[in-house]
Amino acid sequence: MSLTLIAPALALTACQQQPAEPVASNEMGTMTGSNSMTGPVDPGAATDAAGYIAKAGAGDLFEIESSQVALDKSKNQKVREFARMMIDQHRKSTARVKAAAGEAGLAVPPPQLMPDQKMMLEEIKAADADAFDDIYLKHQKTAHDAALALHEGYAESGDTPALRQAAAEIAQVVRQHIAHLADMPAS
Protein backbone atom coordinates (compact mmCIF):
# COMPACT_ATOMS: atom_id res chain seq x y z
CA MET A 1 0.00 0.00 0.00
CA SER A 2 1.42 3.39 -0.86
CA LEU A 3 2.39 6.00 1.71
CA THR A 4 -0.06 8.43 0.09
CA LEU A 5 -2.93 6.17 1.15
CA ILE A 6 -1.61 5.27 4.58
CA ALA A 7 -0.66 8.75 5.80
CA PRO A 8 -4.15 10.31 5.42
CA ALA A 9 -5.76 7.24 6.98
CA LEU A 10 -3.45 7.46 9.98
CA ALA A 11 -4.09 11.18 10.32
CA LEU A 12 -7.86 10.69 10.25
CA THR A 13 -7.68 7.85 12.75
CA ALA A 14 -5.54 9.97 15.05
CA CYS A 15 -8.24 12.64 15.06
CA GLN A 16 -10.91 10.11 15.92
CA GLN A 17 -9.59 8.27 18.91
CA GLN A 18 -7.05 8.47 21.71
CA PRO A 19 -4.38 5.76 21.43
CA ALA A 20 -4.61 2.84 23.82
CA GLU A 21 -0.86 3.10 24.42
CA PRO A 22 1.62 5.93 23.96
CA VAL A 23 2.45 6.85 20.40
CA ALA A 24 6.12 7.35 19.73
CA SER A 25 8.08 8.42 16.73
CA ASN A 26 10.96 6.36 15.36
CA GLU A 27 13.91 7.59 13.30
CA MET A 28 11.88 7.43 10.07
CA GLY A 29 9.25 9.76 11.51
CA THR A 30 6.46 7.19 11.33
CA MET A 31 4.03 6.55 14.12
CA THR A 32 4.28 3.44 16.23
CA GLY A 33 1.88 2.19 18.84
CA SER A 34 -1.68 0.98 18.89
CA ASN A 35 -4.34 3.17 17.37
CA SER A 36 -6.67 0.77 15.64
CA MET A 37 -10.42 1.14 15.83
CA THR A 38 -12.05 -1.85 17.43
CA GLY A 39 -15.62 -0.63 17.28
CA PRO A 40 -17.78 2.33 16.35
CA VAL A 41 -16.37 5.72 17.22
CA ASP A 42 -17.95 7.31 20.29
CA PRO A 43 -19.47 10.37 18.60
CA GLY A 44 -19.76 12.31 21.83
CA ALA A 45 -16.08 11.90 22.70
CA ALA A 46 -14.66 14.70 20.51
CA THR A 47 -13.67 17.50 22.85
CA ASP A 48 -10.71 18.70 20.79
CA ALA A 49 -11.29 20.89 17.75
CA ALA A 50 -9.60 18.58 15.23
CA GLY A 51 -11.65 15.58 16.33
CA TYR A 52 -14.88 17.55 16.30
CA ILE A 53 -14.18 19.00 12.84
CA ALA A 54 -13.36 15.54 11.43
CA LYS A 55 -16.44 13.87 12.92
CA ALA A 56 -18.81 16.69 12.03
CA GLY A 57 -17.49 16.71 8.46
CA ALA A 58 -17.84 12.94 8.18
CA GLY A 59 -21.40 13.08 9.52
CA ASP A 60 -22.42 15.79 7.07
CA LEU A 61 -20.76 13.93 4.20
CA PHE A 62 -22.69 10.77 5.08
CA GLU A 63 -25.97 12.67 5.25
CA ILE A 64 -25.35 14.33 1.90
CA GLU A 65 -24.16 11.23 0.04
CA SER A 66 -26.83 8.91 1.44
CA SER A 67 -29.53 11.47 0.70
CA GLN A 68 -28.32 11.85 -2.88
CA VAL A 69 -28.83 8.10 -3.24
CA ALA A 70 -32.33 8.51 -1.78
CA LEU A 71 -33.17 11.09 -4.43
CA ASP A 72 -32.21 8.55 -7.08
CA LYS A 73 -33.81 5.45 -5.55
CA SER A 74 -36.77 6.36 -3.36
CA LYS A 75 -40.26 6.42 -4.85
CA ASN A 76 -41.77 7.95 -1.69
CA GLN A 77 -42.29 11.70 -2.02
CA LYS A 78 -41.89 12.33 1.74
CA VAL A 79 -38.60 10.44 1.80
CA ARG A 80 -37.40 12.41 -1.23
CA GLU A 81 -38.38 15.72 0.43
CA PHE A 82 -36.53 14.66 3.57
CA ALA A 83 -33.47 13.76 1.47
CA ARG A 84 -33.51 17.19 -0.21
CA MET A 85 -33.71 18.85 3.20
CA MET A 86 -30.78 16.72 4.46
CA ILE A 87 -28.60 17.72 1.52
CA ASP A 88 -29.39 21.41 1.95
CA GLN A 89 -29.11 21.57 5.73
CA HIS A 90 -26.01 19.40 6.03
CA ARG A 91 -24.25 21.56 3.45
CA LYS A 92 -25.16 24.51 5.67
CA SER A 93 -23.85 22.82 8.81
CA THR A 94 -20.60 22.03 7.00
CA ALA A 95 -20.31 25.70 6.07
CA ARG A 96 -21.06 26.71 9.68
CA VAL A 97 -18.30 24.47 11.06
CA LYS A 98 -15.86 25.79 8.43
CA ALA A 99 -16.72 29.38 9.33
CA ALA A 100 -16.29 28.73 13.06
CA ALA A 101 -13.00 26.95 12.45
CA GLY A 102 -11.86 29.90 10.35
CA GLU A 103 -12.73 32.28 13.20
CA ALA A 104 -10.51 30.17 15.44
CA GLY A 105 -7.70 30.02 12.87
CA LEU A 106 -8.12 26.28 12.33
CA ALA A 107 -7.79 24.40 9.06
CA VAL A 108 -10.63 22.15 7.92
CA PRO A 109 -9.46 19.08 6.00
CA PRO A 110 -11.74 17.51 3.39
CA PRO A 111 -14.23 15.24 5.16
CA GLN A 112 -13.89 11.47 4.97
CA LEU A 113 -16.48 8.89 5.95
CA MET A 114 -15.80 6.78 9.03
CA PRO A 115 -15.81 2.98 8.53
CA ASP A 116 -19.31 2.56 10.01
CA GLN A 117 -20.62 5.34 7.76
CA LYS A 118 -19.08 3.68 4.70
CA MET A 119 -20.82 0.44 5.65
CA MET A 120 -24.20 2.16 6.08
CA LEU A 121 -23.79 4.01 2.78
CA GLU A 122 -23.02 0.75 0.97
CA GLU A 123 -26.13 -0.85 2.51
CA ILE A 124 -28.21 2.10 1.31
CA LYS A 125 -26.77 1.88 -2.20
CA ALA A 126 -27.33 -1.88 -2.34
CA ALA A 127 -30.92 -1.81 -1.04
CA ASP A 128 -33.57 -3.04 -3.42
CA ALA A 129 -36.60 -0.90 -4.21
CA ASP A 130 -38.86 -2.63 -1.68
CA ALA A 131 -36.47 -2.19 1.25
CA PHE A 132 -34.81 1.08 0.27
CA ASP A 133 -36.85 3.57 2.31
CA ASP A 134 -36.67 1.47 5.49
CA ILE A 135 -32.91 1.04 5.22
CA TYR A 136 -32.30 4.69 4.35
CA LEU A 137 -34.47 5.94 7.24
CA LYS A 138 -32.95 3.45 9.71
CA HIS A 139 -29.45 4.68 8.86
CA GLN A 140 -30.60 8.30 8.99
CA LYS A 141 -31.82 7.70 12.55
CA THR A 142 -28.50 6.10 13.52
CA ALA A 143 -26.50 8.92 11.93
CA HIS A 144 -28.62 11.66 13.49
CA ASP A 145 -28.42 10.10 16.96
CA ALA A 146 -24.62 10.06 16.59
CA ALA A 147 -24.60 13.63 15.26
CA LEU A 148 -26.70 14.87 18.16
CA ALA A 149 -24.34 13.24 20.68
CA LEU A 150 -21.34 14.76 18.88
CA HIS A 151 -22.69 18.30 18.65
CA GLU A 152 -24.19 18.34 22.15
CA GLY A 153 -21.01 16.89 23.61
CA TYR A 154 -18.77 19.41 21.89
CA ALA A 155 -21.09 22.32 22.72
CA GLU A 156 -20.86 21.28 26.37
CA SER A 157 -17.15 20.56 26.71
CA GLY A 158 -15.30 21.41 23.50
CA ASP A 159 -12.02 23.28 23.58
CA THR A 160 -12.73 26.04 21.03
CA PRO A 161 -15.42 28.66 21.81
CA ALA A 162 -16.35 29.44 18.18
CA LEU A 163 -16.81 25.74 17.44
CA ARG A 164 -18.75 25.23 20.69
CA GLN A 165 -21.22 27.89 19.55
CA ALA A 166 -21.51 26.29 16.11
CA ALA A 167 -22.03 22.88 17.70
CA ALA A 168 -24.85 24.23 19.88
CA GLU A 169 -26.57 25.76 16.83
CA ILE A 170 -26.17 22.60 14.77
CA ALA A 171 -27.49 20.43 17.63
CA GLN A 172 -30.78 22.36 17.46
CA VAL A 173 -31.10 21.57 13.75
CA VAL A 174 -30.23 17.91 14.32
CA ARG A 175 -33.02 17.69 16.92
CA GLN A 176 -35.43 18.95 14.25
CA HIS A 177 -34.18 16.28 11.83
CA ILE A 178 -34.77 13.60 14.46
CA ALA A 179 -38.33 14.90 14.92
CA HIS A 180 -38.87 14.74 11.14
CA LEU A 181 -37.59 11.17 11.13
CA ALA A 182 -40.07 10.22 13.85
CA ASP A 183 -42.88 11.47 11.59
CA MET A 184 -41.70 9.59 8.50
CA PRO A 185 -44.02 6.89 7.20
CA ALA A 186 -43.02 3.31 7.87
CA SER A 187 -43.52 0.92 5.02
pLDDT, tens digit (0-9, with 9 covering 90-100), for 84-123: 999 999 999 999 999 999 999 999 999 999 999 999 999 9
Q: What angle do CA 166, 81, 120 make, to 5 degrees?
A: 70
Contact call for residues 95 and 111 (beta carbons, < 8 A): no
**Gap between the Cα atoms of 38 and 132, Å rounded:** 29
What is the CATH class of 46-182? mainly alpha
User: Is pTM, for the whole model, over 0.85?
Assistant: no
DSSP-derived letter for residue 44 is G
Contact 46, 55 (CB under 8 A): yes
Domain ranges of the chain: 1-37, 46-182
Dihedral angle, C-alpha 137, 88, 61, 49, nearest 10 °:
-120
Each residue's pLDDT tens digit, 35-81: 333 334 444 466 799 999 999 999 999 999 999 999 999 999 999 99
